Amino acid sequence: MVFRIRTYNNIAEAGLEAFPRSQYEVGASIEQPDGILVRSANLHQEPLPETVQAIARAGAGVNNIPVEKLSEQGIPVFNAPGANANAVKELVLAGLFMGFRHIAPALAFVAELSGEGETFEKAVEAGKKRFVGRELPGRRLGVVGLGAIGGQVANAARALGMEVVGYDPGITVEHAWRLASDIRQARSLDELLAECDVVSLHVPLIEATRELINERRIAVMPDSALLLNFARDGLVRRSAVLAALAEGRLGAYVTDFPHPELQGQPGVVALPHLGASTGEAEANSAVLAVQNLREFLEHGNIRNSVNFPDVVMPRTDGGRLAVANANVPNMVGQVGTTLAEAGLNIVDLLNRSRGELAYTLIDVDGEVAPDIAGRILAIDGVLKVRSIPPVSGRG
């Protein structure tokens, strides 16, 4: 079987090479695709063919993909969490140094100097007093969100001699294990803000986190604190930050999200969204996105989906059925009954749910004929059914 993949944007070559040419046709002009591979292209108004089984983004955020609409159709959306973590971590550290050592205004000062010889040297010596900075050891960094990126930032800052406090009520066991043992947990966001010299944001933008840093939260922070935002623009209320900078209550704001309101404002360093802009990050993200897509198309397995649960089951010798459905009672029972009526014995089964969606992998002792898959699709609440043939050379 040959799968057809439509690409949007320029996908890193390392990702494209991860598709076996004997099994995949890949390109921007592919018609009737089985899967879509995308970076930043906006798919919200893009008509998607009925043949699409899955969409994978070579990056972390999926704001450019109509996830809710696709969920209603039983189509998983994959992303590449952590693939760009090192790139973003490095830029956060650069932002930390820029904020503490006033590097951006110092560069601007030097660029505007005039004169030669002793006149120039005197101007340098007189001006550098404006840029006296602070060193990192002993300073306290607060990391809000301890996922793939936040965890790396916390560990790197600890290695630089900083004290680190983290806040993440939803931290996973996997991410907790990766943290340095002496990183302390804050009991609340306000507790973290009140005691940290630097605050770095690493949470997704959802309604609960929109304008997470506002007037009230800034008022909790120590005077001259440094705020770093390399996560999402909407996490910070710009007007609150600018007012705090003007009043001297905030030391600096370093962000990866430029905006006309921030241009030319004292105390602001705004970068042009460089967080994941490295060749390595783009390659890592593309490879992981392709791996996610291939696992799903070839075996029905789901890893790193933003709308479906993780469901990964080793293959057996027979065919496999992948069922996406509404998370309501007795769905698995109805599917099992349909298979039994068709004379198919279930060899292995794995069912998981996530919110209103559920997903089931069922291995049987033969191949699932199209009419059987059609009967299962007719069950009320079933969104999508895929019949996956036995692995080549088995069964």
Which SS3 state, helix, strand or coil, does residue 290 take?
Answer: helix
Which stretches does DSSP call E strand in 105-183?
Answer: 140-144, 163-167
| Tens-place pLDDT, residues 309-341 | 999 999 998 999 999 999 999 999 999 999 999
Same domain, 90 and 225: yes
List the catalytic residue out of 6, 102, 232, 315: 232
User: Which residue range forms the structural domain that includes residue 336?
Assistant: 311-389
Structure-token match 């699709």, residue found: 377
- Asked if 372 and 338 count as a contact pair (C-beta separation under 8 A), the reply is yes
pTM: 0.81
User: Same domain, yes or no, for 91 and 235?
Assistant: yes
The pLDDT assigned to 395 comes to 44
Say yes or no to pLDDT of 27 above 80.
yes
Verify that 30 and 67 share a domain, yes or no: yes
Considering the domain boundaries, does residue 112 fall inside one?
A: no
Residue-level pLDDT at 245: 97
Give the torsion sign (CA, 305, 307, 309, 313). Answer: negative
∠ CA 262-267-271, nearest 5°, is 55
Do 265 and 328 share a domain, yes or no? no
Both tokens assigned to 287: 């490879």
232 is catalytic: yes
> Which residue in the list 121, 261, 341, 356 is annotated as catalytic?
261
Is the Cβ–Cβ distance between 106 and 252 less than 8 Å? no
The per-residue pLDDT for range 123-149, each reduced to its tens digit, is 999 999 999 999 999 999 999 999 999
Residue 178 maps to a domain:
yes
Q: Is residue 261 among the annotated active site residues?
A: yes
- The answer to whether residues 262 and 383 belong to one domain is no
What is the biggest distance separating any 2 CA atoms in the chain, rounded to whole angstroms? Answer: 95
Residues 322 and 296 in one domain: no
pLDDT number for residue 7: 97
Question: Does residue 14 sit in helix, strand or coil?
Answer: helix
Strand order in 382-388's β-sheet? 346-354, 357-364, 320-326, 382-388
121 occurs within a structural domain: no
Whether residue 220 sits in one domain with residue 300: no
Given the residues 21, 216, 259, 273, select the one marked as catalytic.
Answer: 273
331-379 pLDDT, tens digit per residue, is: 999 999 999 999 999 999 999 999 999 999 999 998 888 899 999 999 9
Question: Would residue 108 count as lying in a domain?
Answer: no
Amino acid at 317: D
Rounded-to-integer distance, Cα 2 and Cα 198, Å: 52
Mean pLDDT of 144-167: 96
DSSP codes, 326-377: ES-TTHHHHHHHHHHHTTPPEEEEEEEEETTEEEEEEEESS---HHHHHHHH
Distance CA 36, CA 16 (A): 12
Domain check: are 92 and 224 in the same one? yes
Structure tokens at 166: 């983290």
Assign residue 66 the CATH number of its domain.
Answer: 3.40.50.720
Q: Say if residue 177 is in the same domain as residue 326.
A: no
C-alpha to C-alpha distance for 154 and 78, rounded to whole angstroms: 26
For residue 122, being part of any structural domain is answered with no
Q: How many domains does the chain have?
A: 3
Contacts of 345 (CB under 8 A, 6+ apart): 364, 365
Considering the domain boundaries, does residue 19 fall inside one?
A: yes
pLDDT band at 45 (very low <50, low <70, confident <90, very high): very high
342 burial via Cβ count (<10 Å: 0-12, 13-18, 19+): middle
